Structure 1
């Protein structure tokens, strides 16, 4: 059986076919406004290039930046009823209090605060005001809102109130999708609430996008199940994405990093993914992207998803090189996917970073003669500038002084020098489509992150074992093979300020997809 990996970026849609551990073919197509036609084109190209029978494709994995772009561009988001259970606590900071004004307006600024919620040790702050939830349901119907997000104070310790509020809302508003914050964020009320509201605002876009991917595969005559990659480099079944679009936010850079690990066989490295407009930089640890430990900012909103610790700079193959009054600048403005029309080496009129790479002899694309008249001092200065930008990124991403290799991937990685400081730069085969390779090799995960009380005979070891069993159950339910599961993250933090000897435990397991899943 073959696996197909597709990565839908802002500029290119990449596709690869994998058989076991071998990349049979990799192609690039242009991303289209409707997404589907770009996916169909990439699929047809990669099936033709690999010469496989499409009936033998066992699973298709898709990575997409569709939902992140919707938030950043403020498009395709619905108005949401944001309901917080916690009064009388938390009244001073209403839902969406720290959101940018334009984004708050787009999701409607419908904030409701209700009596309810829990203390840190699971005691009620106050009983849930069910009559108020009934009144809110009437308001939702009157306003014609399409979704609701329910957040209860400390729902990670007890989720009963969120479940009850959802039940009442759906009794009163049949068919209303209700997102519960316990399913999305971790501890930290405002960030978890923001994640739930954002998720609710993207549900109808998720529905349309998943349906569009399904149609694209059907149009290409592919009938196997398809999966979408999530923030941590593992897979979600397409139907799960309909309910949790925010969990795909960082899947683009994550896929590139997992692909880089797979193509080089390295488990610990710094990965630089250079695209047409930006470069994403992050560190691999044990073959997976290192996770960010702080809150993650998406489109100006603080959230607390488990996201890779990746940052971007405005340097890519299409970056404009400008020699202005303030000296030489490279990026952040870029010609993006138009680089093959507008760059000098392709017969265009714009000086880009790709032209500098060709003129300096680092890259062999387009017509070298078209850039041979560039001033050598300008070329040297631009090369130096690009190298300095890349070097400062790599230094920022390193976690220790011990030398680790740098893996260069992405179509724009022709800009990378052969060494960065004392670090060797590795360009694997198929480097330009590493993101699609990362999607194709993705595994299935399960995780648990909650507070355990070490009382009545429960020890730290038994709590860890309990958390691991929960995570394994979730992974198997999502389609992983039990015998392939391994623990990749295990952490416990004693919470000194809580009674009952409490400790917060986070365990994550990953495994291969079961045979019935491709």
Structure 2
């Protein structure tokens, strides 16, 4: 994931006319002036590991942005960013209609192996699946971090929905008692082909609710896709994060309310859509990789390009992804997170060790750039800021590509070093874009992130390079413009005469899920349909995935079906 954006770039870009199509509103149009209210003000916030960004958007206009250091308690950085944004734009908190927040808290907790709940993974699949029990492919350190225990019960279904074995309530209650005795406080339930038939997971969740009122329960059919181990792993990760999710979501709500904002609060999901705070509390795993997704969506919004490559360059790394119809292309294979293989929706993002703080090291007659980086210490340690470390930013300034810091401090830098560093940067960026594109045709590239000053005006294999206004806060903008989505991912037996009917059924279900999640009914559209025949299954089995998105309906709260706890 790209490191936090370089702070000094925010101040540099506001107050000047940029090259993007969205510019700060003139003073007369700013909220809070002349007594004019803005009925559709959105506040987007991105909480990164180093910086917290906040932006205010009215329709398709960016009214202002602010950046503050992220604090250990999260709320401090958000309060500062909102306060700075209010001072810059003069907006009235009462006029904000929605608050959208992107956060890396849950990803960081899993990577660090801290603040995780003691979790029991219970699978319905016997007499099948015995050879690969739950948690079989987990790193030992994470199994220990969640004090994980795996259990197997009879049940599950075939791909067509027929049961493998009947639900045995006595057996499940015995397993549940064993899990409780082992210290489990959160429960992950999985069942073979539960995306086709969720009966076993639902019945088991009801029993847990009766036996342990209020205990958090995570159901695999609500989280992952077809494919047992990846879906089960994602569900266990979700269950392990449930206690932390309660704390974080409560803190976010309280912080927004303390700022005088009474608008509903939503969190960004990793597919570029929104979920309300209650849904996020139950499904924290859905926030994974929302940072790169928001940056890509923000880049598309700022540039006006719905299909392009987006390069998000931070202080340490660069994230490169491809947008189709304004949404990131999703990974087609299972994605490993902190060493755990999962199959829930994730953007297909390529990360490389190149950023504004990357070290430039002389080696013989050449140089190497990165992957080591000074990251957020750039404004203290880079040459152009009076430091002693030669960085990619210094090379960009010395080569005339960027104008930040004090250029005189790199005036004596050997020009051949800067030229060699910039050449290597260009080659690595071009290679990364080439690896994510799906055809030989040149693609437009949108450069975002504070480190995007490294991006040249022309790049091999690229039709054009765009670095729009507000590029340094594209992640918060992506959060602010996010829509509400619904998805169906299921295996259907399809005969030739029924194909159109099955696809129409899947489209309608996806649209209904988007509306149930809080989308305005008249705004929902289908943005992706995928069919994958499964030759290894009988009966013309085909995996069908349909995604629908719509504009947020602020006339009423979002309602998510399938909740199983208070």
Are 1:239 and 2:278 matched, yes or no?
Answer: yes
The answer for the alignment partner of 2:24 in structure 1 is none
Q: Is the 8 A contact 1:229 1:439 kept in 2?
A: yes
2:548 to 497, 505, 509: 509
The answer for the alignment partner of 1:253 in structure 2 is 292
Determine the C-alpha separation between the residues in 2 that align with 1:109 and 1:178: 15
Q: Deviations over 1:451-485 (max 9, x none)?
A: 23347x98211211211221121111111111111
2:324 to 278, 282, 285: 285
Comparing 480-489 with 135-144, which one deviates more in the overlay? 135-144
Q: Is the 8 A contact 2:396 2:402 kept in 1?
A: yes
Q: Deviations over 1:83-109 (max 9, x none)?
A: 111112111111111111211211223
1:444 to 452, 461, 484: 484
The answer for the alignment partner of 2:123 in structure 1 is 84
The answer for the alignment partner of 1:469 in structure 2 is 508
Determine the C-alpha separation between the residues in 2 that align with 1:98 and 1:407: 38
Comparing 63-72 with 118-127, which one deviates more in the overlay? 118-127
Determine the C-alpha separation between the residues in 1 that align with 2:527 and 2:311: 23
1:144 to 176, 183, 187: 183
- The count of corresponding residues between Structure 1 and Structure 2 is 517
Comparing 322-331 with 130-139, which one deviates more in the overlay? 322-331
Comparing 458-467 with 421-430, which one deviates more in the overlay? 458-467
Are 1:427 and 2:478 matched, yes or no?
Answer: no
> Which 5+ residue runs of structure 1 have no aligned equivalent?
none
Q: Is the 8 A contact 1:320 1:352 kept in 2?
A: yes
Q: CA deviation at 1:502?
A: 3.5
What pairs with 1:47-446 in structure 2 (closer than 5 Å)? 47-324=86-363, 328-423=367-462, 424-446=464-486
Q: Is the 8 A contact 2:366 2:417 kept in 1?
A: no
> Which 5+ residue runs of structure 2 have no aligned equivalent?
1-38, 558-566
2:58 to 6, 12, 19: 19
Q: Deviations over 1:17-37 (max 9, x none)?
A: 001110010222112222111
Q: CA deviation at 1:343?
A: 1.3
Q: Give the TM-score taking structure 2 as reference length.
A: 0.88
Q: Give the TM-score taking structure 1 as reference length.
A: 0.96
Q: CA deviation at 1:501?
A: 4.1
Q: Is the 8 A contact 2:97 2:554 kept in 1?
A: no
Determine the C-alpha separation between the residues in 1 that align with 2:50 and 2:468: 22
Q: Deviations over 1:148-182 (max 9, x none)?
A: 10111111221111111112222222221111111
User: 2:555 is paired with a residue of what secondary structure?
Assistant: helix
The answer for the alignment partner of 1:30 in structure 2 is 69
Q: CA deviation at 1:497?
A: 4.3
Determine the C-alpha separation between the residues in 1 that align with 2:45 and 2:554: 21
Q: CA deviation at 1:377?
A: 2.0
User: 1:419 is paired with a residue of what secondary structure?
Assistant: coil
Determine the C-alpha separation between the residues in 2 that align with 1:326 and 1:9: 38
